[in-house]
Structure 1
Amino acid sequence: MSKQWHGWAGKVLWVDLSSKSYQTTELPAELAYGYLGQSGVNARLLYDLAPQGMDPFDPKAPLIFGVGPLSGTLAPCSGRFTVTAKSPLTGIFGDSNCGGHWGPELKQAGYDHIIITGQAEHPVYLWLDNDRVTIRDARHLWGKDTWSTDEAIKKELGDNTIQIACIGPAGENRVRFAAIICNLARAAARTGPGAVMGSKNLKAIAVRGNMGTSVAKPAQFREAVARAVEAIRNDPLYEVASTFGTTAITGLAQMLGFLPTRNFQQSTFEEGENLRGEVLLENYITKRKGCFNCPVSCSRFYKVSSGDYAGTLGEGPEYETISAFGSKCGNGNMESILFANTLCNKLGLDTISTGNAVAWAMEGYQRGIIKDSDTGLNQPLHWGSHKLIIELINKIAHREGFGGLLAEGALRAAKKMGGVELVVHSKGMDYPAVDVRGTKGMALSFAVSPRGGDHLKGLPMYEVGPEIYAKDIKELLGINVTPNYWMKYETKPQLMYWHENWHCVVDSLGLCKLEGIAMKPLLPVHFRDLLAFATGWDVDVLELELIGERIWNLERLFNIREGLRRHDDMPPARMFEPIGSGPAEGESLDFARYNQMLDEYYSLRGWDKAGVPTGKKLRELGLHYEGKN
């Protein structure tokens, strides 16, 4: 560890798989102080290293892993890392955030970032034993699932405590939404980084680190940690999060009418009661599980003891997965969802995009766009066919038959088969588990996200839990919460602007956003104190938010350089159709009001009418863009 660094490890590892070479450089101070770390520095590196038009599978295309200045420290929920690459699913900016223990191990090994380019002659894995770097043969691992790969590498290296991030068959076969898996169940999945890793013939990155982390002001840092932990445990939703994790959202979504059902044709599910967190907890959960240094432990281990899926074991699932293989596919069989979750983790698949691809196919079949002769399957693509869902997951990962088409993602599949209007997406990435017709701020958030249809870049829990956080919303944003706030257009551009900036900060510090900003136990002052005492940097809250804004604009510039403009910030056609039933019956996005909201958002951002950051805004943020508007 560089002696002059606190918080940050101070080192960047560059690996060229084509030449089987590597070098270590010092983390540039301007990157650390300008973009914090993890997702922010990753974004800067991607912008600089991936020129306009570069194919995501080009051997020269960078695959970047990063941790933040708080990763691996005593800061609560500091177990995150980010993987960044040009997305093979969307062709634009792509990154994925992941928890578990791999990120802190990388920090303990003395690295802030790994930049991987090139393509190995044959399958390899990267072995980082503190500052000793080895590129090892992985031909014997190619074709194995992630669980078998994890076990084999640990046995080969003689250490069961090694942290491993690896791909499964989906990544090897370049499924465009393939995931990178660590700790058997933690996934860097959205935007398809596993496919980029597979294109480089890189099976895994194994890490062992015991170099420790250094903080500038240990006593003050411990006090800041104690304040943060107290805030988390005093949060009104702490017990809910600790008990149910994100599965608590299933009941809320059903109650408020934003649970996507049958590919977003409805927003409540008649079998929704079967999918609630309470059902999971009572019948299948065996033990709670937490990521590195987490006081919440929102994940859980599960076991299926009887029925068609008896013997199924795994961790999770998240609300997104329950919706993806449950309500979105018209499936009320919880045991099949648990099996699908474990299967996706083993094969290395993003559960959201996998479920959406299947749901799109099911609706295409319902409407006669897809025929039995097109699929080659043994059974029709009927809603709720849970055994068919499992069959398709396997076929997608191995690119077999109809699964090979779905492995391209729902939008590409629809462009070939028809039914593009049935794909619920923005910028080529399909929507997560929120029907945004009933949540107007999320409608804006999903559409303008730099990754495409996405909730995690600006997840506004202030919108769906306004009564709980009314005081914070007033104090931090000056917004007075009104009845049914989630359905209102007013103030949502301001709400999203704030959330997006702070999500960038939290992701770049290396903290979990569930407790870090989404559910809001922690406030900007907590982030400021933790960073300042860890690094010795006398940063203030306003400067931190400005850094978040800089990161958001940089990610926007990457997409502007690839040709994206205002029309790419529009929600999909289905969101302008009224909801047919349920608590949000009749709700839809109004085209004129959405565009008014988008105009206001662009104005707040300092972007022109086409959604391009103005020169004035870029100068304020210390950014520069030479492309044509």
Structure 2
Amino acid sequence: MGGYAGRYLYVDLTSGKIQVRELPRAWARDYLGGTGVAARFLWEELYAGVDPLGPDNVIVFGTGPATGALGHATGRLVIASKSPLTGLWGESHVGGHLAPEIKYAGYDFIAVRGRSDRPVYLWVDDDHVEIRPADHLWGKTTREANQMIWEELGDDTVQVAVIGPAGENLVRFANVIVDFYDAAGRTGMGAVMGSKRLKAIAVRGSRGVRPADPEGYYEAVRAMYEKATTGEWSQIADETIRRYGTPYLIDVMSAIGRLPTKNHYTGIFPEYEEINGDALRALRISRKSCFSCFLQCKYVHHVPSGGYEGTLTGGPEYEALVALGSNLMISDLEAIVHGNQLCNDYGMDVISAGKVISWLMECYERGLVTEEDLGGMRPRWGDADLMVDLIHKMARREGIGDLLAEGALRAARKMGRGTERYVIHVKGLEASAQDGRSHKSIGLAHAVNVRGADHLRGLCTYDELPWAVKYAYERFGEEEARKMVIDDRLDPRGKGYLTWLTENFYSIVDSIITCKYGAMWPMIYYYDDFAPMLRALTGIEEHGDPRYLALMGERIY
């Protein structure tokens, strides 16, 4: 098979046993890679009722067939396991350069089970795989630990996935950090690593990736590249994602009343211009790109003076600006930037962290939580210092932070008093920065999402904005588009069908794996674009059939 390494790494931290196993061709044919193969693998590995924080849970670091093959935006990594936050399917994606390095080391994915009796990290150097002691790394922030691993290995090109103190302390929404600033944020994958006493995975590879039909593959990739870099879509990208990164969405969502504010009470934040892309540009010092991506949508920001002087962070992205900003009614941009980096250093999902705080603020405002409950703390809207303080407390599980570290739904169930009513979640996962009241397909996508209230597995953008609607008519034709009432995001008719189509397609995107911002918003690529690329890449005949890809997407989801 082209594109695939053809094998995966299986590590048992309890026994210390390391195995290299063959990737079944049927998995590649029927589940593609990434999310699809991770789901297929975990279906066999996990039994009903397995403890997400127990040694029998398994965590997967997965690539797709296109990973490392120089197609556009093919640097994504999926991390999957049973979630300690929701008790359901756990999955998070991250960019950067780790995924290609895993492929270059000769593996399609790395699976880890068991629990070490001491802190360790996994060192993968092509065929040399070693479980190394990490006592000296335990308690360090993600940046500190990454730097120390580089120094220990004598190579700062080694790619590292690392957890921080939040993961070590089993904060249920702890994340995994890659490339210093990139986060696999959702569903608590960092807590799974922490429960295994696995501080990090460090990878260095020297192999390449060879398509089954190199000429056909690069011809297909070139056609996709030209489609994304010419015409109207490229102009839209220049004015939005390239210019600002995801923070451009602050203005977009504010304009249509969909900017989550005050624990999702409203979609309008009067001070949105103080935290938008233009405001953030004043703190920008550099630009970053994930592997093989021409968009370069990531920016690094620095606070030059004031109470948070010296803060250096990648992002904050749109989700962080909402979670620590508008949804807490905080307009202090420098505090938001600082809070974002604290979450990264501690290794903690900024979305869940912010939404737990907004839940607490609303409960306090309504008199359901008192100062006595909080040790004298007064969680009021707009209090940036309190936001920063609570991030520290959650990551360290200190005081009220120990309760909040359980996630909003668990915290509310323990607190009682009617506080459950104000948790904005689906299936226990705190909602991302979307609003189903003003975009019906998003509300439905959240409700049926396999991992909870998250937009990345089923967010439909065809019915979101006027320039996106046009692509829907081109893609589906007038009859189908009208059946989905694509012109009206507030009309629920046809949105079930639209959401189903989107979920299945995103399952293919997440299994290739490519980035959704790499020409997915709006979705100018579809099955007929991916099919010739995949057929030339993998050499698997079925992958060249758009209808088969659509069925595969449904199978995966």
TM-score (ref. length: structure 2): 0.96
- 1:430-453 CA-partner distances (Å, limit 9, x unpaired): 110012101000000001000011
Mapping 1:74-93, distance limit 5 Å: 74-93=70-89
Q: Select 2:492's aligned residue among 485, 489, 502.
A: 489
Q: 2:472·2:486 contact (CA, 8 Å) conserved in 1? A: no
Paired residue for 1:318? 317
Paired residue for 1:155? 151
Mapping 1:191-340, distance limit 5 Å: 191-234=187-230, 235=233, 236-239=235-238, 240-281=240-281, 283-340=282-339
Q: 1:82·1:97 contact (CA, 8 Å) conserved in 2? A: yes
Q: 1:460·1:518 contact (CA, 8 Å) conserved in 2? A: no
Deviation at 1:473, TM superposition (A): 3.6
Out of 334-343 and 480-489, give the one that drifted further.
Answer: 480-489
Distance 1:549 1:410 in 2: 31
Mapping 1:568-579, distance limit 5 Å: none
Distance 2:466 2:26 in 1: 38
Q: Could you say what secondary structure the match of 2:187 adopts?
A: coil
Q: Select 1:550's aligned residue among 531, 546, 555.
A: 555
Distance 2:487 2:309 in 1: 43
Q: 1:462·1:473 contact (CA, 8 Å) conserved in 2? A: no
Paired residue for 1:135? 131
Mapping 1:97-496, distance limit 5 Å: 97-234=93-230, 235=233, 236-239=235-238, 240-281=240-281, 283-376=282-375, 379-418=377-416, 419-476=419-476, 478-480=480-482, 485-496=488-499
Q: Select 2:537's aligned residue among 534, 537, 556.
A: 534
Amino acid at match of 1:215: P
Amino acid at match of 2:447: A
Q: Could you say what secondary structure the match of 1:485 adopts?
A: coil
Amino acid at match of 1:420: E
Distance 1:85 1:30 in 2: 21
Q: Could you say what secondary structure the match of 1:164 adopts?
A: strand
Deviation at 1:371, TM superposition (A): 1.0
Deviation at 1:204, TM superposition (A): 0.2
- 1:538-578 CA-partner distances (Å, limit 9, x unpaired): 321110111110001xxxxxxxxxxxxxxxxxxxxxxxxxx
Deviation at 1:249, TM superposition (A): 0.8
Q: Select 1:501's aligned residue among 504, 507, 519.
A: 504
Paired residue for 1:28? 24
Distance 1:278 1:114 in 2: 40
Deviation at 1:474, TM superposition (A): 4.7
Q: Could you say what secondary structure the match of 1:486 adopts?
A: coil
Distance 2:225 2:379 in 1: 48
Distance 1:206 1:286 in 2: 28
What is the count of residue pairs matched by the alignment? Answer: 546
- 1:64-98 CA-partner distances (Å, limit 9, x unpaired): 11100001111100000101111100001111111
Gaps of 5+ in 2: none
How much is the aligned-residue C-alpha RMSD, in angstroms? 1.3
Amino acid at match of 1:169: P
Q: Could you say what secondary structure the match of 2:264 adopts?
A: coil
1:41 partnered with 2:37: yes
Amino acid at match of 1:192: G
- 1:127-157 CA-partner distances (Å, limit 9, x unpaired): 0001110000000100000000000000000
Q: Could you say what secondary structure the match of 2:102 adopts?
A: helix
Distance 2:471 2:452 in 1: 31
Paired residue for 1:68? 64
Q: 1:515·1:521 contact (CA, 8 Å) conserved in 2? A: no
Q: Could you say what secondary structure the match of 1:372 adopts?
A: coil
Deviation at 1:484, TM superposition (A): 6.0
Q: 1:285·1:303 contact (CA, 8 Å) conserved in 2? A: yes
TM-score (ref. length: structure 1): 0.85
Q: Could you say what secondary structure the match of 1:140 adopts?
A: coil
Percent of matched pairs sharing the same residue: 43
- 1:184-234 CA-partner distances (Å, limit 9, x unpaired): 111112110000000000000000001111111111211111111112223
Q: 1:427·1:453 contact (CA, 8 Å) conserved in 2? A: yes
Distance 2:119 2:519 in 1: 37
Amino acid at match of 2:526: L
Out of 366-375 and 15-24, give the one that drifted further.
Answer: 366-375
Distance 1:58 1:482 in 2: 46
Q: 2:174·2:185 contact (CA, 8 Å) conserved in 1? A: yes
Deviation at 1:466, TM superposition (A): 4.2
Deviation at 1:516, TM superposition (A): 4.9
Amino acid at match of 1:269: F
Distance 1:471 1:270 in 2: 32
Paired residue for 1:563? none
